[in-house]
Amino acid sequence: MSNITFRLAWRNLWRRKRRTWLTVGAMVFSNIILVFLISMQLGMYAMMIENTLRAQTGHLQVQAPGYKDDLKMRQVVPDVIDLAAKLRSEIGSDEIAARASAFALVSSEERSYGLQISGVEPEFETRVSSLPGLVTEGRFLEDAMAEEIVIGSVLARNLRTGLGDELTIIGSGRDGSFAAAVVTVVGVFESGMPDMDRGFAEVPLGFFQDTFYMEGAGHSVVVMAPTLIQVGALGGRVESLLPAGEGLVVHNWDVLLPGLKQAIQADFVSAWFMYGILIILVAFSVLNTQLMSVLERTKEFGITMSLGVTPGRLGRLVLLESGLMGSLGLLLGIVFGGALVAWLGHTGFTYPGLEEMAGQFNLPGRIYPQFSAIGLLMGPMIVLLASVTASIYPAVRLHWLEPVAAMRAAE
């Protein structure tokens, strides 16, 4: 757009300073809220995903088909330790580990609880899971064959047991036969996630296989990608490396934990309902301002048209004016919103009741919004777009303007 038209548009904005500032103010207000909330959501989602995946499923899992829904002992990945080793060497990543899992009754001297026991590779589990790092008492598992167990802190309390105590495990093996073993508690972890702390325990995979008659098999190979974005590509690579003929499948985290992704989606959609309302209200503000501004300038537009300027060109001038207002709103919104996000990214954000709610989604009680280009730009860009769109009507109206009648209009 050329120089004079640009200047014309800019100066037109300031013919009614207060009106323009009020309109820009509406944009800035909405933009700050959008920047803040979207950055907050992105921060929350990233944490929800990362915390949950690190603690539970990992980014990808190789499983027998149907296992994720049924969790049956017999839906196994054969030679799971070898497969994990092969994937590690082929992909060149240490963040791959084999697991097996079973329901069992775990008893101390005084108490018994039914819970899920995982068999893990001590050496590699530390690379794929946050759990080993959450051991607050004792240590994590070390030897693949040792008769040892690591349990959640609430479970330890409920079982009235502690480091060095023996627990009895009773369950059924892969073939449905009776399986039992005695293990020593070597570590207690505290994840902050009630379900995990109350009902989860890990034993070495080799020992697990012996106890539950797994014959070298396991239930999954857990794979972590360097970042969430790379999960898809890595999944394809893992798939190509699977042994043929065994019908194993690769599941992404969103398939393994559909609730997580859907909770995010549900939250996202409901949040966008509110954003949509804000954006529409800003659009109405712009529509009103620009319509008034066009009506005020009827005479001026009449003259300009008599000079041979087409209505289309004047329409573009109106759109440019809205675009300029929108850009101003965008700029100020990003500056103020960004400052707010940066500050809260530093101090964290909380409100009464958040902590109780956050626990449900594996979140801490203090949320740190994510300072990112997308969080800063997404909302304000849409507001800008909506502003320009809203002024299409006043711009198009110019096509019905008759220069002679327009010039007769009162100033």
Partner 1 sequence: MNQFKMILRLAWRNLWRNHRRTLIMIAAIVIGAWSMIFMTALMRGMVDDMVADGISVLPGHVQIHHPDYRDDPTIANVIAPPSGELLEALGGAEVVAWATRVRVPAVISSERDTRGVTLVGIEPLRERDISFVAGDVVEGEFLTSPDDRGLVIGRKLVEKLETGLGKRVVVMSQDQENEIADRGFRIVGIFESKLAQYEEGFVFAGETVVQKLLGVGDQISEVAILGSDYRNVETLFRSIEAAAGDGVETLPWNEIDSYLGSMLAVMDGFVIVFIVVVFLALSFGLVNTLVMAVFERVREIGLMLALGMTPRSILGQIVTESVLLLIIGLVIGNVAAIATIEPLKDGIDVSIVGEGMEMMGASSVLYPALYLKDIVMANLIVIILGFFASLSPAWRASKYDPIRAITKV
Partner 2 sequence: MKSVTCKQLCKTYHQGEVEVIGLDHVDLEINEGGFVCLSAPSGGGKTTLLNAIGGLDTPDSGKIWLAGERIDTLGKGELANMRLHRIGFVFQAYNLIPVLTARENIEFVMEVQGVPADEREKRSTAILREVGLEGLGDRRPAQMSGGQQQRVAVARAIVSKPALVLADEPTANLDSHTAEQLMELFVELNEHHGTTFVIATHDQRVMRYAKRVIHMLDGKVVDDERRDVA
Binding site for partner 2 (CB under 8 A): 2-5, 7-8, 11-12, 15, 300, 303-313, 402-404, 407
At closest approach, how far in Å is the CB of 241 from partner 1? Answer: 30
Report the C-alpha gap between 84 and 223 in whole angstroms: 9
CB of 19 to partner 2, least distance (A): 15
Helix (H, G, I), strand (E, B) or coil at 2: coil
Q: Of these, 7, 11, 72, 366, which contacts partner 1 (CB under 8 A)?
A: 72
Q: How far apart are CA 242 and CA 378, in angstroms?
A: 40
Which CB atom, from 236 or from 258, has the smaller least distance to partner 1? 258
Cβ atoms of 39 and 243 within 8 Å: the answer is no
Partner that binds at residue 389, options partner 1, partner 2, none, CB closer than 5 to 8 Å by kind: none
Give the nearest distance from C-beta 381 to partner 2 in angstroms. 28
Among positions 336-395, residues that touch partner 1 (CB under 8 A) are 351-357, 359-361
Cα torsion for 206, 209, 214, 219, to the nearest 10°?
-80
Other beta carbons within 10 Å of 178: 8
Residue 192 interacts with partner 1 (CB under 8 A): yes or no? no
To partner 2, the closest distance from the beta carbon of 4 in angstroms equals: 5
Pick 97 or 185: Cβ nearer partner 1: 185
Among 91, 241, 249, 291, which residue interacts with partner 1 (rule: CB under 8 A)?
291
Q: Residue 98: name the closest of 67, 133, 135, 144 by CA.
A: 144
Residues 163 to 182 in contact with partner 1, rule: CB under 8 A: 170-172, 176
**262 lines the binding site for partner 1 (CB under 8 A):** yes
304 binds, among partner 1, partner 2, none (CB under 5 to 8 A by kind): partner 2
Question: Closest by alpha carbon to 218, among 121, 129, 128?
Answer: 121
Strand partners, 62: 221, 250
How would DSSP label each residue in 261-322? Answer: HHHHHHHHHHHHHHHHHHHHHHHHHHHHHHHHHHHHTHHHHHHHHHTT--HHHHHHHHHHHH
Smallest distance, partner 2 to C-beta of residue 224, A: 59
Phi-psi region of 79 (alpha: psi -120 to 50; beta: other; left: phi over 0): left
- Rg, C-alpha atoms of the chain: 31
> Residue 103 binds which one of partner 2, partner 1, none, with CB within 5 to 8 A depending on kind?
partner 1
| Stretch 6-45 residues interacting with partner 1 (CB under 8 A) | 16, 18-19, 22-23, 25-26, 29-30, 33
Among residues 133 and 312, whose Cβ is nearest to partner 2? 312
